[in-house]
Copies of this chain bind each other. A is one copy, B any other.
Amino acid sequence: MSGKILMLILDGVGDRSVKKLGGKTPLEAAKTPNLDRFAEEGQNGLMDTIAPGIRPGSDTGHLALLGYDPYEVYRGRGPFEAAGIGMELDPEDVAFRCNFATLEQGKIIDRRAGRIKERTEELARAIQTIDLDVDFEFEKAVEHRAVLVLKGEGLGGMVSDIDPHDVGTEFHQAEPLEDSAENKKTAKILNDFMKKSIDVLSDHSVNRDRKEKGELPANIILPRGGGKVPNLDNIEYKHGLISGAISGIPLVQGVCSLAGMNVLEVKEATGGLDTDPKAVIDATVEALKKYDFMLVNIKGCDLSGHDGLSEEKIDFIEKIDSSLDRLNEIEETYVAITGDHSTPVTIKDHSGDPLPLTIWGEDVRTDDVDKFNERACSKGAINRIKGGDLLNILKDLADRTEKFGA
């Protein structure tokens, strides 16, 4: 009988030797009885999400884990952000992440408009009245963030950012990153959009109110990270799996959504350190009754890694560990526990260091590893695989693969 599959992705969990931890990694320093039990009962190894030494993004990393070749399908972050906030996308659309920002005397003085949180919906409605040479959609996202989708044919996805990624400087003009009529068209429309965003926002009542309260106005939209919507083979067609996903991050939700997975709403998966892993695991156990395959991303470790906080990372790892009891309830399921990339506290960014990987389930060939961490797993029976092979391995264990040949 075919088994089910769970990929539990601890975002940014991998790390390096940390001096102040006596040379241990946060995973090694943390007390993780549940994770260690999975390691002891399962088979273990290292995983390069994309390839050795390649730093995955959250988008490209999850693409690889779902069996897509990110070098082939990835065309920028914008479309995943758009899908992540639930926008409907067509294959020829071009999507951009945007910030509400503050422009003063021709210079960007705050890329987040004083971290504006409220009434961005009103500003978005004003933006939606802009008249462009193509159809477009514009939606606010969390806080100062928004998404722009240019629709229609003949648009290129390779244009530079208007966002200068710096303050005290002028905004940039979008330029084609590769010379083509399509990219030129997109750049022209994007520059037009940005100018018109200034027109409709500068004297908007929301901004008048903000100025009165001494807050920075959100008087320009800065698009960045543009890209065409990738044409991903639906995961049900590609892998024969009815699939669900849980994540607190729109970018990961967007990847899963564009892959054709059902993105489940779990409000306790916040994408922050206040995530409640227990609630996420509860939702996962329930979802596995319905879905063949669940991808569950728990953010948290990644944030501590970016901030360089090893103790905080240890605490969050232990918080995750203590939430895993209920996984004992699941039956006939092959579980992979790993990350999407390392986020070493010494680097404060994603890194290409390989990740620990445990595969657990009935009849797997176990090994001598009894701890879930980078060093222990490196001695396991899996040795070292690529992230792009993980779903194939799990499908094979769950007896869900077709023989290639006779």
Interface residues of A (CB under 8 A from B): 16-19, 23, 25, 46, 50-61, 63, 70, 74, 77, 225, 251, 344, 346-347, 349-353, 363-367, 374-375, 378-386, 389-397, 399, 401-406
**Contact (Cβ within 8 A) A59 B396:** no
A137, B63: Cα distance in complex, Å: 48
A363-B383 in contact (CB<8A)? no
Least CB distance from A303 to B in Å reads: 15
Contact between chains at B405 and A74 (CB < 8 Å)? yes
Contact B364 A55 (CB under 8 A): no
13 chain-A/chain-B pairs, Cβ below 8 angstroms: A16-B365, A18-B363, A25-B365, A52-B385, A53-B394, A55-B396, A59-B406, A349-B399, A352-B393, A353-B397, A365-B378, A375-B381, A378-B383
**Of B346, B375, B383, B405, the contact of A58 (CB 8 Å cutoff):** B405
Tell me the number of copies of this protein: 2
| Supplied contacts A51-B392, A55-B403, A251-B406, 8 more A-B pairs, CB within 8 Å | A16-B363, A17-B363, A17-B364, A51-B389, A55-B404, A60-B405, A351-B396, A353-B397
Chain B neighbourhood of A404, CB < 8 A: 50, 54-57, 60, 70, 74
A57 contacts which chain B residues (CB < 8 A)?
Answer: 403-406
> Which residues in B have their C-beta under 8 angstroms from that of A382?
378, 384
Bound-state CA distance A17–B19 (Å) is 39
